[in-house]
Structure 1
């Protein structure tokens, strides 16, 4: 493996002889191996040890392999762990059940060791690529936190915005990918401010034209930071377009209407709302009713999506 970490594989099978043979094969490839012999202990080991790959027998006491697989794939903390289903049965319904549960591969017993090893190594490569992707995302999230830490008045702004945007995505029944992008975009929408001098970011008074021009660069800079990661495909659009307005008077691209992705239109409203209802160096926090009064006035000017604003108001109004 190209990765320095020795992969850990969980093998779950109630056939102790088959389990022992498979364990020896995997250990012969230099892999760490942990084992379980029933569904309940398998569930516990996945939760506690987060293995790099799971090999499941489909028929085990307690909880079936397919059900364990489904649980692994439904949990955001474990869904990227590859799962290989093993069974001594060859009927199509078993394969369909495994596929529906989200299994990454399906192998019948008796299997050829060489074929099994090849498939396992291939899945582990994908797993480690995903791990590296997570590490890259963590670096970008750290940048966003570093920017926020520069200004005591924006503390926790990204956390609030990400949660509010996610609530909007859930209410609107957006896709799981779009909801994930709203959460990530909420955290990262201002990451492009990393290159803007602190004196401009924290200036208590009105910005000069030159200073505001510097501020206007942050959406494009932020997109440049996020876009190389495919997992940020939609989030990077939020980062770039969260200061656009429906009438085309926003920045950086002055796009209008449906040209602005719906996730960016959501973020624009949520971002302004949180800014209005939070303390700033130049004013106190506005009460909720006044904040929505301003947003509705701006919506009438053609800045914000009226339907999205109404939905947002219904979610947060107390």
Structure 2
């Protein structure tokens, strides 16, 4: 292993070794490479040993924040959080735990587990299984091979774009989900939200089972074959794997292709106009939002929230 007092660190972990990084803040970039060596570099040329406790063993490398003041983690001042560039063997098992750090990872085929609080996560050119969770950070997964995805967010949005998914389990509270992938294999395939919407890009045949109390279900090529209170079953094309969508107030919209946003420069006249005031929220929507907030605070269960929202729907219908 190289000297821990420098800004660079190398350690041989083997083609399927383990790499673990615990970093409260900053930026993390992890890339899979050929070989059996893990490499860590502080892009600001700061000593890794001044920031991390480095645990190097046969087949593994772990970096975690230095511990000071009787067990309390040292506070990293604003602007001093590290920016790390990491290389690991393609097939290595990778674990990242962060608070506000931004995480990007690419070219990995081994097990991957990533947890952040407010940092965004961007994953590309991956294969195999992914277990990723954020609180308020957004999650973006772009793949070129089949993936098995377990993803969790609270308010962060999720975007999944890849040729095929063998297994999919996505859950958000208020975050929206974009799913652009052909669902193959035995699954299961499921998206769960409280108030978040699901935009589904139609790829091949698919069967959709949607349960949403107040949300809408529809879109291009979706043929509803069964409908009941809060539940709809539909098919796309000739059917195929089953995607389950569970939500309280979220919508499910099927689109034929990804929506393209076009930015328009405002004219001088338009720029001079005052910003339009947002319309007041109707009393019925106020009540719905209060139910959702109570659910997010843990004051009521999902079942209770569904029942209350259903009652409000009847009152305001």
TM-score (ref. length: structure 1): 0.27
Structure with more strand by fraction: 2
Structure with more helix by fraction: 1
TM-score (ref. length: structure 2): 0.27
Larger radius of gyration: 1
